[in-house]
Structures are given as C-alpha cells and as structure tokens.
Amino acid sequence: MADFRIEQALSEMRATGTPQQSPQRQTDGPPVEEFSNLLRQAVEQVNGRQVDAESLRDAYMRGEDVSLTDVMITAQKAQISFEAMKEVRNRFLEAYEEIRNMQV
C-alpha cells in the first residue's frame, strides 16, 4: 500500500511537471542513483526489519531457543525504522503539496 502511494505521488509529480531535459551524468564520477530507487531500497529495508521481528517473535512463541531480549530489541528496531519512514513520507508529501500549490 505504501509502495502504491509512493508510485502514485511520483507519477503525479511527473504528470504535472513540464518536460525537462535530464542532466548529463558524469562518466568519471560515482554513479548517481535515482531518488525512487533510494526510496524503494529504504522501504525494503524497513519491511525486512519487520519480517525479521515477526519471525523472531514467532520462533519465541513456538518455544525455540530465542532470547526474549532479542525479540524485544528486534521489534523495537522495526518499530523505530517504521516510524522514521512514516515521518519521511509525511515530510515528502508536505513538500510535494507545497510545491504543487506554488504559483508559477
């Protein structure tokens, strides 16, 4: 669902913007990653942390040799990374709204 909203926001930005020429990329410098790729990687990392936390919790509930402290620490890391991602999303959408409402 979050991936859909990101793609929707990016497509709206592309649709409302004027066609611009893409800047020339330097061939001798480090490669430049696109913002959408970086954003997708961040979402995948947060999702990975949530999956790890859930699998540790399930293993603990099944009685496997998993420490409760490991379960709690992993769950907290997943929660904090999700909250951080949510805050970045909110600020990104606020900036998008501000840019969209600008008078040209």
Spans of all domains in the chain: 35-104
Specify the residue for token string 């620490």.
73
What is the distance, to the nearest Å, from the Cα of residue 68 to the centroid of all Cα atoms in its chain? Answer: 28
pLDDT of residue 73: 96
* pLDDT confidence tier of residue 104, bands split at 50, 70 and 90: confident
> CB-based contacts of 81: which residues, under 8 Å, 6+ apart?
45, 46, 49
- More confident position, 63 or 16: 63
Nearest to 92 by CA among 33, 48, 38, 21: 38
In order, the DSSP letters of 53-86 are HHHHHHHHHTT-S--HHHHHHHHHHHHHHHHHHH
Cα gap 18→78, rounded to integer Å: 39
pLDDT of residue 75: 96
* pLDDT confidence tier of residue 2, bands split at 50, 70 and 90: low
What's the pLDDT tens digit per position in 11-34? 666 666 554 445 555 556 666 778
- More confident position, 44 or 104: 44
**Cα–Cα–Cα angle for 6, 80, 83, rounded to 5 degrees:** 35
Q: How many helices (H) and strands (E) does the chain have?
A: 3, 0
